[in-house]
Amino acid sequence: MRELFVLLCALSCLLTACQTPQKPGTESSAIPDSLDQSPAAQIRSLNRQLEINPRDYTLYQQRSEQYYNSDSIEKALADAEMALSLFPNSPDLKYWKGFLAFTQNDSAEAMIQYREAIRLGTKDPEVYYQMGQIFFLQKKYEAALASYQKAVELNDHEPLYWFAQGFLEEQRLQKPAAIKRYMRALELDSLHTKTLLQLYDLYLTGYENEEMATRYLDRLLRNQPLHPLGRYYSGTAHLRKALGLSRDTPRYREEVNEAVSDFTISVSRDPGFADAWYSRGYCYFMGENRLDEAIGDFRKVLEINPQYAQAHFMLGSIFEYNKDLQTALFHYRKAVEYKPESEDFALAVKELEAQLK
């Protein structure tokens, strides 16, 4: 019974995913500033130009952008303010200040600046797209859709704006409308990554059509064979196939090995991808019985997210199997702490406490 629940617990995680943004490249001291395009080199160049033209607002704007690229948000905001003090009626600067505020989770300030940019006559579709993003996060879907549509009016050849409308329609449970907009995004860019991934997920979970879903995933992976989320989805597909087979068949082992390979690519490309670490650990536990490696992967999950209840439960299962009952009980209790609604987690604690009396 416990093994069945372990399997069901793992399956509940197979379709979740996360990604982290890539960082800018590092500077090479061997390259002259005149050729070096890194943020640090660009900032040095702008510093020299500002010594000559200290009231040129465009130089502050450019330096603000480079500070943002180098993760110096406070300096980026300070330069945006300086640029605005020199040219207070610039819609582009209002938008940039709003964007920086949004990156700091200040949606209210961001919206003020975006509306100022519109008042000043901006024709930049990004202003409307970013407003739509804020409305979307606030679950104001009608306002978000109106903003996305305005962005499309200003630039109907940007696939991201069509994707955003499609994703919003999915949240409103309008699947046919979502697909229509996703298809438009793919007409503009047949390899648009976000759209291909979302179509895979929609057909798999929304329509339970794995054949159609796989078409979009395969298209992505032919173009980006090392994409971490794409490989994660591929791994979960192999794992689902394995779980439908008898464990003593060669096909079962082949599918599990393929899943391990995919999850390994995911975590190598995105080391902060907790679900990929969890899924590989699950493969080691159930498919290949490599318990030490499973423990390592589940512990990696907890380094990334200490409140990942399923990882605690899996560790509890392994340590119970290894007869380390105190450590098992610790992890079972942690699983209950972080997911108290789970009756199965609570039952594992109850049964092991009774065993230890």
Place 357 in a pLDDT band, splitting at 50, 70 and 90. confident
Tell me, what's the pLDDT at 286? Answer: 84
At 147-177, the pLDDT tens digits run 999 999 999 999 999 999 999 999 999 999 9
User: What's the total number of domains in the chain?
Assistant: 1
- Average pLDDT, stretch 71-90? 95
Give yes or no for a contact between 345 and 339, defined as CB atoms under 8 angstroms apart: yes
At 112-132, the pLDDT tens digits run 999 999 999 999 999 999 999
- Average pLDDT, stretch 186-210? 96
Element (H, E) at 272: none
Q: Confirm whether 158 is domain-assigned.
A: no
Give yes or no for a contact between 217 and 195, defined as CB atoms under 8 angstroms apart: no
Q: HSE (CB half, 13 Å, CA atoms) of 126?
A: 10
Q: Confirm whether 130 is domain-assigned.
A: no
* Structural domain boundaries enclosing 317: 308-357
**Region label for 121, one of left (φ > 0), alpha (ψ between -120 and 50) or beta (otherwise):** left
Q: Confirm whether 214 is domain-assigned.
A: no
Give yes or no for a contact between 188 and 159, defined as CB atoms under 8 angstroms apart: yes
Q: Confirm whether 112 is domain-assigned.
A: no
Q: Confirm whether 47 is domain-assigned.
A: no
Place 35 in a pLDDT band, splitting at 50, 70 and 90. low
Q: Confirm whether 345 is domain-assigned.
A: yes
The token duo for 161 is 């704006």
Is it the case that residue 22 has pLDDT exceeding 70?
no
CB neighbourhood size of 173 (10 A): 9
Mean pLDDT over all residues of the chain?
90
Element (H, E) at 38: none
Q: Confirm whether 319 is domain-assigned.
A: yes
Is it the case that residue 30 has pLDDT exceeding 60?
no
d(CA 167, CA 156): 17
* pTM of the shown model: 0.81
Under DSSP, the state recorded for 27 is: P
Tell me, what's the pLDDT at 20? Answer: 35
The token duo for 120 is 């000043």
Q: Confirm whether 107 is domain-assigned.
A: no
